[in-house]
């Protein structure tokens, strides 16, 4: 299996650290709002990655954090805590807000057929581990205290830019604004490990005691603490969206490698953005679409999953309603084809060579998760004039172990009785002659008999009434 490692900016052959299991850490949501479909694109990519590892025979230990404290409105330590701000807006407790949006997040996972990670760890359950890590950073001379916070001392850590490859002076420009908020901060690139309850955080609700007084953790330290508590250090693969390369993951590496003196993870994989009107879709950008919005428009969430798989995870994907509707049509067509296959299954499966299809499928998915290629192979299988329905179905369900489109649940179409087909044909003729009153009467008659006719661009379809 070959994957693109952001650390080397190259495709590398995946070699697990241990023989028995693979550690996969996937940065999770900040639960102050619904996930948008951009976030969900990244989670679908991570699901495909997990399924591909399983396909290759690995036992995957997957961990995802839930950020329920410490993520400020700017990734670079400025602004307010996102959850507390939302709680004030909604007049609910911070704990309620975190719980409510965690549940909403899990609902989205179910609708998109994303496997829920075995470990789903809220940051607030790992406070002790985070404090321990900060203490180690003090021991190693990589942390310092001001009257407002505890900081990571960036210039003291040699490999700070190894993931981002972004020169430190560029980062300094980006970070300059918030230096004003703490004159004791030594270097503009230093970032917060622990916030004290001072100034803007005087009334911060989530708070814990620590060797530096009451306070709460900075955003990045939770992932360092949770990932290594669960998976050891180093572990195999760490993932997230591309926005995490320069700040969040760079800081995670600094904290964990600074504290333990070993690499944090071997491979770092990042999903590109879902964009809309040429801008990144984002909660802060205010241009975001949720899965409920998609459902309101009668689009199946799995059609959204299909849509994301049409692009490689390392390419930007442009969202338009038209493109999503086209994906929905393709997904419906696929379901129709599968339901027909189910009707035509033979009692005895023909002996045919399905190996070449399987080889091509494995090669495509093992080539850095080439899902567009896998979809092409899927359609080729569906359309093949050589394969029997049994073998087609068998192959499709194997591909679906990775694609996760829930194709095994596509129903066999009911057999439509001849008298209904006749009535529908008569109706079709009347419609073609623009005799709409008569054609409508026939539609009603068909409906009374328990069937529904629907007119589509390519002709009408009949189905059993639900």
* Residue ranges in contact with ligand AMP by CB under 6 A: 27, 29-30, 38-39, 41-42, 240-241, 243-244, 271, 273-274, 280-282
* Burial classification of residue 304, based on how many CB atoms lie within 10 Å of its CB (0-12 exposed, 13-18 middle, 19 or more buried): buried
Residues 311 and 273: their CA atoms lie apart, in Å, by 11
- Interacting partner of 223 out of Zn ion, ligand AMP, none (Cβ under 5 to 8 A depending on kind): Zn ion
- Interacting partner of 39 out of ligand AMP, Zn ion, none (Cβ under 5 to 8 A depending on kind): ligand AMP
DSSP per-residue codes, 286-334: T----HHHHHHTT--HHHHHHHHHTS-TTS-EE--HHHHHHHHHHHHHH
Comparing CB distances to ligand AMP, the nearer of 182 and 222 is 222
* Burial classification of residue 151, based on how many CB atoms lie within 10 Å of its CB (0-12 exposed, 13-18 middle, 19 or more buried): buried
- Interacting partner of 188 out of Zn ion, ligand AMP, none (Cβ under 5 to 8 A depending on kind): none
Residue 114 sits at the vertex; the CA angle it makes with 249 and 15, to the nearest 5 degrees, is 55
Comparing CB distances to Zn ion, the nearer of 148 and 230 is 230
Question: Are the beta carbons of 143 and 137 closer than 8 angstroms?
Answer: yes
Phi, psi of 240 (to 5 degrees): 175, -170
Provide, rounded to whole angstroms, the least separation between the CB of residue 73 and ligand AMP: 11
Provide, rounded to whole angstroms, the least separation between the CB of residue 101 and ligand AMP: 10
- Interacting partner of 97 out of ligand AMP, Zn ion, none (Cβ under 5 to 8 A depending on kind): none
**How is residue 179 written in tokens?**
């230096």
Binding-site ranges for Zn ion (CB under 5 A)? 27, 223
Residues 438 and 440: their CA atoms lie apart, in Å, by 5
Comparing CB distances to Zn ion, the nearer of 239 and 328 is 239
Task: Give the residue at shortest CB distance from ligand AMP.
Answer: 241
Provide, rounded to whole angstroms, the least separation between the CB of residue 104 and ligand AMP: 12
**How is residue 129 written in tokens?**
């581990």
Comparing CB distances to ligand AMP, the nearer of 174 and 398 is 174
SS3 453: strand
Provide, rounded to whole angstroms, the least separation between the CB of residue 112 and Zn ion: 21
| Omega within 30 of 0 (cis) for the link into 234 | yes
Comparing CB distances to ligand AMP, the nearer of 216 and 319 is 319
Comparing CB distances to ligand AMP, the nearer of 40 and 396 is 40
Provide, rounded to whole angstroms, the least separation between the CB of residue 284 and Zn ion: 17
- Interacting partner of 274 out of ligand AMP, Zn ion, none (Cβ under 5 to 8 A depending on kind): ligand AMP
| Bridge partners of residue 152, in order along the sequence | 143, 191
Provide, rounded to whole angstroms, the least separation between the CB of residue 49 and ligand AMP: 13
């Amino acid at each position: 299996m070959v994957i693109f490692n952001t650390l080397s900016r190259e495709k590398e052959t995946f070699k697990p650290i241990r023989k028995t299991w693979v550690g996969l850490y996937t940065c999770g949501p900040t639960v102050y709002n619904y996930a948008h479909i951009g976030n969900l694109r990244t989670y679908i990519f991570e699901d495909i990655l997990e399924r591909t590892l399983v396909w290759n025979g690995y036992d995957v230990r997957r961990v995802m954090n839930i950020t329920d404290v410490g993520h400020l409105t700017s990734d670079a330590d400025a602004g307010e805590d996102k959850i507390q701000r939302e709680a004030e807006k909604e007049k609910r407790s911070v704990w309620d807000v975190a719980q409510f949006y965690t549940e909403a997040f899990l609902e989205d996972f179910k609708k998109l057929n994303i496997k829920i990670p075995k470990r789903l760890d809220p940051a607030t359950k790992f406070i002790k581990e985070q404090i321990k890590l900060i203490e180690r950073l003090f021991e190693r001379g990589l942390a310092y205290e001001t009257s407002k916070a505890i900081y990571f001392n960036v210039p003291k850590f040699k490999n700070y830019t190894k993931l981002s490859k972004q020169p430190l002076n560029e980062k300094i420009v980006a970070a300059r604004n918030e230096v004003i908020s703490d004159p004791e901060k030594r270097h503009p690139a230093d970032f917060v490990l622990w916030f004290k309850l001072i100034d803007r955080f005087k009334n911060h609700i989530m708070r814990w005691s620590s060797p530096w007084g009451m306070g709460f953790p900075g955003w990045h330290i939770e992932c360092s603490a949770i990932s290594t508590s669960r998976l050891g250090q180093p572990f195999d693969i760490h993932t997230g969206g591309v926005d995490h390369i320069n700040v969040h993951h760079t800081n995670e590496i600094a904290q964990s490698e600074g504290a333990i003196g070993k690499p944090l993870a071997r491979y770092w994989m990042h999903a590109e953005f879902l964009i809309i009107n040429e801008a990144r879709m984002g909660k802060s950008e205010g241009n975001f679409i949720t899965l409920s919005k998609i459902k309101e428009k009668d689009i199946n969430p799995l059609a959204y999953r299909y849509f994301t798989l049409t692009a490689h995870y390392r390419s930007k994907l442009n969202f338009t309603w038209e493109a999503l509707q086209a994906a929905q049509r393709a997904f419906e067509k696929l379901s129709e084809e599968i339901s027909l296959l189910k009707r035509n299954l033979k009692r005895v499966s023909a002996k045919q060579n399905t190996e070449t299809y399987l080889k091509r499928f494995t090669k495509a998915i093992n080539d850095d998760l080439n899902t567009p290629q896998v979809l092409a192979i899927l359609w080729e299988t569906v359309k093949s004039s050589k394969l029997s329905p049994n073998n087609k179905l068998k192959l499709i369900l194997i591909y679906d172990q990775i694609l996760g489109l829930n194709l095994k649940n596509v129903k066999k179409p009911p057999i439509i009785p001849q008298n209904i087909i006749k009535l529908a044909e008569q109706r079709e003729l009347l419609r073609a002659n623009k005799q709409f009153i008569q054609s409508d009467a026939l539609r009603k008659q068909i409906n009374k008999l328990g069937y529904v006719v629907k007119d589509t661009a390519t002709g009408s379809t009949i189905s059993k009434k639900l």
